[in-house]
Structure 1
Amino acid sequence: MTRILVLGGTSWLGGAVARVALHAGLEVTCLARGSSGSVPEGAHLVRGDRDDEGVYAAQLGSSDWDLVVDLARQPIHAGGAVRALGDHAGAWVLVSSASVYARHDEPGADESAETLPALDTAFATPEEYGEGKVACEGAVRSVRSGDALIVRAGLIVGAGDRSDRFGYWPGRFALAAQDGGPVLVPERRDRHVQWVHVDDLATWIVTAGLAGVTGVCNAAGPAVPLDDVLHACARAAAFTGEIVTASDEALQSAGVEEFMGQHSLPLWIADPEWCAFMDRSGAAAGRAGLTHRSLDQTVRDAAAWEEELGLDRPRRGAGLDRADELALIDRLR
């Protein structure tokens, strides 16, 4: 039986990778501390703290794997894993991030774009996320050379997403359809938005990894105007109410944050230095087999997850609480 090791597996994308592999009839082992949740039913959880580089030999011995999928964000974890297991894996996939790039103002930039300098410490702070991922990539290359697939994921969406960045919009239009109030949107809605559905990404990671795909790929779907996303969200919610627009300047003056964080408008980016953060070439991943479900299906999936979480819940990851949004609309008027 094909054997897959997921370094993680109890969090969002890791769990999706494990589920995809199990559905395909593969044998799945997940190495994790187990503090982020449980592994999918059918997967074998091996508990271990990856801060200790000896954990791999102690918990996994000299087992061989057809595929290892590593979701590490800390250089010590990525380096320790590939040094311990690199010679025991037929294929290796590292999930990296589009945050590794040094610039985000070049629409359509591909994998050859300049990256940030690699972090030279073992652990990255949240502010050093991109530099930490660059160091993780370097650690994998130092052992596997070109014999690994490095997946630079863009904005990941779908069931299980707790960032609120994409889900805010189908959730907000659904809530407004219920309470009859207006929805606040940016006046500039021609800027591009780009994402990858968690299930599409997980499926491709498993299939491409086992197929021997190597190299660096941006895992992101086609870039579309924000207006397309908002219209799809309104359609899904059967929203027929009022839409209130606000300029970049008005939103900034009101203290609304861009893209993410509390008191923000998700997916809205006014800063010209970040204008292409969600507009990168995903052609290499497409050639390697990554496919994307439709925008309408993606919105329906996100809307169902928002319903499960609660439409009127406090927004911690991104977005405006409903009361704050309505108060801001009144002020803008």
Structure 2
Amino acid sequence: MEILLLGGTAFLGRHIAVAAAARGHEVTCVARGSNPAPDGIELVVADRDEDQGLAPVGGHHWDAVIDVSRQPGQVRRAVRDLHCSHWVFVSSGNVYADFSALEQDERSAVRAPLEGDVMEDMSSYGESKVACEAAIRSAGSSSTIVRSGLIGGPDDDSGRSGYWPWRFAHSTGDDVIVPDDPGFPCAMIDVRDLAAWIVSAAEQRLDGVFNATGPTISLGEVLAVSAQAARSQVPARPVPAARLAELGVGCWMGPASLPLWIDKPDWRGFATLDTTRARANGLVTRPLLDTLRDALAYENRRGGARRTGLDDAEERRVRAALDGNI
């Protein structure tokens, strides 16, 4: 197959490119050029924010176009300017309107689509992806819309999948600060498993909407597997949500946070999805231990500041406050 990948130089896009090339497909990536394409894969440097940004690849008929964009304008211009037999669009579970229930399926209500072509910030991420989905459906070709859950594993620069094994491997004291909510429902999908299934969807021209993430497990299980991945015997130190808030510790992601957990009852099902349809169509996910081991290896290689979690100074500060030393 001749596959046009809109992206392909970072995280999921890069893994898609590698997976497709490994299966013998001809892959062309379109990106700004801030990162190189994987070895042996053609890179067309283009700016998708420009009205004619896709002109260099618009005159060819592609067997499949795979798009990971979050900007409706970019997707609308792609649908307008590109010719293909099948679309694959990587959307998100963030499109759903209500996260109070666990493992909602593809028939669940979604948010209103974003008006306009540009998502200004992440507060409208779900609405933007809804608008992108609508653009793909208007293309007139068959399409796979993949509503992905949290993506983890090697190259996860967000740090959400790597933080817990990294922290157990590099504790700043005699314990690891964790939320006192071991039953919080969690799920993630390894970037390599998602990439492989996206290539399969393109090959099979799967038509429809599919949730894609890993099995639902508890935060307590994630922490136990993280400690196992780190080969750590350091115990977890559960801290109530109210106390964490007093100490300036946030949820889910970002600086000074504890990832994969949200202290809001209405968001308890946020990370989970019903993946029955995708699994019936070939989605296979590896054990969480494998994902977290490789996420830890990536964290150990990259070093430097992390976008998610407590850094060493913050964890020491929180522990000192809990011990009554400040």
Partner of 2:3: 4
Partner of 1:41: 39
**1:270 to 2:263 alignment:** yes
Partner of 1:135: 131
One-letter identity of the residue aligned with 2:309: G
Q: Secondary structure at the match of 2:258?
A: strand
Structure 2 residue ranges without an equivalent (≥5): none
One-letter identity of the residue aligned with 1:131: E
Give me the TM-score of the superposition, normalised by structure 2. 0.95
Runs of 4+ aligned residues of structure 1 deviating over 3 Å after TM superposition are none
Partner of 2:158: 163
Contact 1:152 1:217 in 2 (8 A): yes
Partner of 1:73: 70
One-letter identity of the residue aligned with 1:79: R
Q: How far does residue 243 in structure 1 lie from its aligned partner after superposition?
A: 2.4
Partner of 1:240: 233
Q: Secondary structure at the match of 2:85?
A: strand
**Distance in 2 of aligned mates of 1:327 and 1:91:** 53
Alignment deviations for residues 144-203 of structure 1 (CA, whole Å, 9 cap, x no partner): 36x200011110001111111121001000112xx6532111111111111111000001
**1:94 to 2:89 alignment:** yes
One-letter identity of the residue aligned with 2:290: Q
Percent identical residues: 43
Partner of 1:208: 201
Contact 1:154 1:195 in 2 (8 A): yes
Q: Count the aligned residue pairs.
A: 322
Structure 1 residue ranges without an equivalent (≥5): none
Give me the TM-score of the superposition, normalised by structure 1. 0.93
Contact 1:53 1:81 in 2 (8 A): no
Partner of 1:175: 170
One-letter identity of the residue aligned with 1:130: G
Contact 1:91 1:210 in 2 (8 A): no
**Distance in 2 of aligned mates of 1:48 and 1:240:** 49
Partner of 2:305: 314
CA, structure 1 residues 288+300, in 2 after alignment: closer, same or farther (shift >3 Å)? same
Alignment deviations for residues 24-60 of structure 1 (CA, whole Å, 9 cap, x no partner): 111110111112x11111111111111223232x302
Q: How far does residue 61 in structure 1 lie from its aligned partner after superposition?
A: 4.1
**1:151 to 2:142 alignment:** no
Matches for 1:220-235 after TM superposition, within 5 Å: 220-235=213-228
One-letter identity of the residue aligned with 2:153: G
One-letter identity of the residue aligned with 1:20: A
Alignment deviations for residues 241-298 of structure 1 (CA, whole Å, 9 cap, x no partner): 2321101121122221111111111112111111100122111111111110001111
Partner of 1:323: 313
Contact 1:152 1:219 in 2 (8 A): yes
One-letter identity of the residue aligned with 1:55: G
Q: Secondary structure at the match of 2:44?
A: strand
One-letter identity of the residue aligned with 2:236: I
**1:109 to 2:109 alignment:** no
